[in-house]
Amino acid sequence: MQRERLTKTSSTPQDLSHAASRQYHLSDYTRTILNLNYAPDSSWVLDPRESFSQVLDKVDFPVSTGNQVSVEFNLIYRGHSNVSTKDEKWSQDLF
């Protein structure tokens, strides 16, 4: 499925490489926030670009509206607690 999505939107090998990199970072980011990187038996991933019409009564929801935005915001918001004290101090000193 992920490979299929990447090849549909990509026209050159470089585009495909960038798309694969973005997909990996998005997956790794959400797994880290949800503390799933330490669960080797889990292959669960949240992809906010995914269509959920197959899961939720065959209704396709508009992108970036309603609860989807809430889920993305919650994941990012909770991710800030993963920043170390050292990194927080560095960031405050920088700005």
Catalytic-labelled residue, pool 24, 29, 38, 77 = 77
Q: Is 85 exposed, middle or buried (0-12, 13-18, 19+ CB in 10 A)?
A: exposed
**The pTM is what?**
0.34
Give catalytic status of residue 77 as yes or no: yes
**Per-residue tens of pLDDT for the chain, all 95 residues:** 444 454 455 577 777 776 766 666 667 777 777 777 677 787 777 666 666 666 666 666 566 666 666 776 777 776 666 777 888 888 888 87
Q: What are phi and psi of 45, to 5 degrees?
A: -145, 140
The distance of Cα 64 from the centroid of its chain, to the nearest Å, equals 13
Per the structure, the count of domains in the chain is 1
Range(s) of the domain holding residue 27: 2-94
